[in-house]
Amino acid sequence: ALALHGALILSAANPPKGELMKTPDHEDTFFRDLIGYSVGTLGIHRLGLLLALNAGFWSAVCIVISGTIW
């Protein structure tokens, strides 16, 4: 999800010659048309934060488990 978001931001921020730069409304409309739902601009960043915190937590759990078992 985050890779798609990054690709979409880069393509919107760097339009071909002669096209206007697209707004976040265009991004939301694209995903609503494609999959029927869009979490929005703030929602995708909240999702990224949740995934990063989750990865950090489980990484710490694995480090503790591997250190205490061996």
Convert the pLDDT of each residue in 2-12 to its tens digit.
677 777 777 77
Q: What pTM did the predictor assign?
A: 0.56
- Give the tens place of pLDDT for each residue, 19-49: 887 777 776 676 677 777 777 777 778 888 9
Print the domain residue range for 40.
Answer: 2-69
CATH number of the domain at 23, please: 1.20.85.10
Contacts of 8 (CB under 8 A, 6+ apart): 27, 30
Count the alpha carbons within 13 Å of 47 in the hemisphere toward its beta carbon.
Answer: 12
For the chain, what is the domain count?
A: 1
If you write DSSP's letter for every residue of 13-68 in order, what string do you get? HSPPTTPPPPPHHHHHHHHHHHHS---HHHHHHHHHHHHHHHHHHHHHHHHHHHHH
